[in-house]
Amino acid sequence: MRLQEHPLRARVLAEVHARPFTPVKTPRRFLHYAFLTDGEAAAADREALAAYCGGLGLPGPAPGAKQHRAIFSGAVLRWESHSEFTTYTWEYGDGQGVPFQPQPDALDTVMEAVPQPGPLLVAVDLHLLPADKGEVPPDVMAAFSPASLAMAEAEGGAAVIATDFQADPHGYVRIVVADRSLSRLAAGALVQRLLEVETYRTLALLGLPEAQALGPAIRRIETALPPLMEAMRTSEGFAENHALLDRLIALAAELEAGAARALFRFGATRAYDELIRLRLASLGEKAIPGHTSWSVFLARRFNPAIRTCTTIGERQDILSRKLSRAAQMLRTRVDIELERQNQAQLQAMNERVKLQLRLQQTVEGLSVAAITYYVASLVHHMLEGVHHLGLPVDATVGTALAVPLILVGVAWTVRRIRRQHAEPGGH
């Protein structure tokens, strides 16, 4: 193009095509795994998968790639790296036609060739089968627990989907898709959405243990706050208010520590819940008489857990605001009390300064008298010396006449010195 492109234009355009639906032919079997991974573990997993594919002469994921599809002998692997988890989805041809046979552990041996990227969180065994007279075969239905069976029509009646959301003896959640009249592309899209529903459902529920762990601490803070507020109403004095402020700050610190720890998890739970709702809406579910649909089942069993996480987050926010307001009021009261104490201290200092000034004036007066007496003594001795030299001078009379002059001179000198020190820059 002759026009200068934005450096991110190609990446933005490619994002909507990052995870395209893959056409799938019925019958098929899928083993789907999701592992929790951070950035470092995801990068190491990408390198391990690239090395494994390279050892078989197959292309591996490119550096920095978020998804990859590899075709092996008898299986197809779809690998995806997400923000906090990595998925491996193996697609097998269902040649035997017997649901859930062979057992998953006979097929997942290929996972042993690649180092496990992180803790396993999701394991799904999904069968895409041709519908028997338009319904799910009875032997397939027998694999599910009737108490938690969720089954509905999907894609406008072109398929029937069923699961009990429970792990089988091998640790896999079983899902069956009975294909009535799905096209290959529609079958691939339906399979991917169902796997995403189970993956996001499990990831969303990671917030529930965090919420349950925070519940007692939040309840304790909620219980401790009203007595503190009542104590604030009657508290007096700096020490009492400061002690209450310390208790409030300790409660706020405990609350904020829990909120910071759960911030990412609760945010992820909300995001996954929204994705589940979007995926369920895109299934085009239609209820089957006598059975619970996926949406209704999850609304009854899954949504309460999400509401628990949401409620804990809301209680944290409300408590944080209450503690902040209470601490602000107490801090204001403590500041006012501190200002009062400072004012009293300043008043006391002012009184001490006045006392020091009076003492200084008294000392100055005594100093003037002492200096006058000393100078008068010198004058008296000087007059006596002159008298002894033969001059007609009376030392006593002369000293008496000199004392007023000496007193005035000394007083004037002391006052001048004090005035020079009082002036700015005086020495």
Residue 119 CB contacts under 8 Å (≥ 6 apart), including other chains: 35, 36
Tell the burial category of 243 from Cβ atoms under 10 Å away from its Cβ (0-12, 13-18, 19+).
middle
Q: Which sequence spans correspond to the domains of the chain?
A: 21-182, 207-344, 352-422
406 closest CA partner among 426, 388, 383, 390: 383
pLDDT at 95: 52
80 pLDDT above the threshold of 60: yes
pLDDT at 380: 74
Query: Model confidence over 283-326: pLDDT tens digits?
Result: 988 988 888 999 999 988 889 999 999 999 999 999 888 888 88
Residue 194 CB contacts under 8 Å (≥ 6 apart), including other chains: 126, 161, 175, 177, 283
Query: Model confidence over 330-378: pLDDT tens digits?
Result: 777 777 777 777 787 888 888 887 887 777 767 666 677 778 777 878 8
pLDDT at 105: 67
DSSP state of 63: T
Nearest-5° Cα angle at 24, 19 to 26: 155
Phi-psi region of 235 (alpha: psi -120 to 50; beta: other; left: phi over 0): beta
Beta bridge partners of 93: 28
Residues 102, 22: Cα–Cα separation, whole Å: 24
What are the CA-CA distances from residue 14 to residues 3, 20, 36, 59, 82 (Å)?
19, 11, 25, 20, 16
Count of Cβ atoms closer than 10 Å to residue 224 Cβ: 14
Mean pLDDT along residues 123-145: 81
Query: Model confidence over 235-260: pLDDT tens digits?
Result: 777 777 778 888 888 888 888 888 88
Beta bridge partners of 85: 36
Query: Model confidence over 149-198: pLDDT tens digits?
Result: 999 999 988 999 999 999 888 889 999 999 888 999 999 999 999 999 99
H-assigned helices in 284-302: 294-301
- Residue length of the chain: 427
